[in-house]
């Protein structure tokens, strides 16, 4: 990040900055930086903009406490726009919305499900099915994967889409639990598949 070549001269010393949540990949807001704001952002690891209305540096969260913690900065092909990846502390918009585009800053994908499973493993709770399954040991977890695979095969032979998709979801969930129980992740499996690509 420190060695980026950024052209601050094109727009009166300012460059637009697209702010993106590093985890959800949701675009949170658009702001502008001058060179001083950029340097302060690098130094403090919290995103600072140049406020065009106040004509001064403005660290996002300085009044609300909803800071944007810096993870990475990339510059575009013309060296005049920044993509800044952050971990936000709370809502980003002054209206209280998650983003300045009134979108929810959330994601639901296999990585999010993996995080939930890992949390249940690391922070066991009695009410959690995931916790209880992992605590029963690797043989029980592996058995559940086998059972769900058979149930998916049976449903694949019929034409009930709802039942098929539910069994597919059960298999996927138990497969992720098995990976977590074996101290592996989906990323480990994807790495193996990537090596196989020809």
Alpha helix stretches (DSSP H) within the chain: 35-44, 110-122, 129-135, 138-156, 161-181, 186-196
Mean pLDDT taken over the chain: 95
Give the mean pLDDT of 45-60.
96
Residues 6 or more apart whose Cβ sits within 8 Å of residue 91 = 66, 97, 98
CB atoms within 10 A of CB 128: 17
Q: What is the pLDDT of residue 2?
A: 67
> CATH says 15-88 is which class?
alpha beta
3-class DSSP assignment, residue 19: strand
Q: Which tens digits make up the pLDDT trace of 42-51? A: 999 999 999 9
CATH superfamily of 110-196: MazG-like (1.10.287.1080)
Q: Which tens digits make up the pLDDT trace of 161-180? A: 999 999 999 999 999 999 99
What band does 119 get if pLDDT is binned at 50, 70 and 90?
very high
Question: Do 15-88 and 110-196 share a fold?
Answer: no
Q: Which tens digits make up the pLDDT trace of 123-156? A: 999 999 999 999 999 999 999 999 999 999 999 9
Q: Is the pTM of this model over 0.85?
A: no
What band does 111 get if pLDDT is binned at 50, 70 and 90?
confident
Q: Which tens digits make up the pLDDT trace of 7-42? A: 999 888 999 999 999 989 999 999 999 999 999 999
Token pair, residue 128, equals: 């959690």
Report domain extents, the chain.
15-88, 110-196
Q: Which tens digits make up the pLDDT trace of 80-92? A: 999 999 999 999 9
């Amino acid at each position: 990040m420190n060695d980026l070549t950024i052209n601050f001269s094109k727009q009166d010393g300012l460059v637009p900055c697209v702010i993106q949540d590093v985890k959800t990949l949701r675009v949170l807001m658009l702001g502008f930086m001058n060179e001083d704001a950029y340097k302060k952002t690098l130094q403090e690891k919290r995103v600072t903009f140049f406020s065009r209305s106040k004509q001064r540096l403005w660290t996002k969260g300085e009044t609300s406490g909803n800071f944007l913690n810096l993870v990475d900065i990339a510059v575009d092909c013309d060296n005049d726009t920044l993509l800044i990846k952050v971990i936000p502390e709370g809502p980003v918009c002054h209206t209280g919305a998650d983003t300045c585009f009134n979108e929810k800053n959330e994601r639901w994908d296999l990585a999010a499900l993996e995080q939930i499973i890992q949390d249940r493993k690391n922070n066991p709770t009695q009410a959690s099915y995931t916790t209880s399954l992992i605590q029963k040991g690797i043989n029980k977890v592996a058995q559940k994967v086998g059972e769900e695979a058979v149930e998916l095969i049976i449903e694949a032979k019929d034409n009930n889409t709802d039942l098929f998709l539910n069994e597919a979801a059960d298999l996927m969930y138990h497969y992720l639990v098995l990976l977590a129980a074996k101290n592996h992740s989906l990323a480990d499996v994807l790495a193996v598949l990537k090596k196989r690509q020809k």
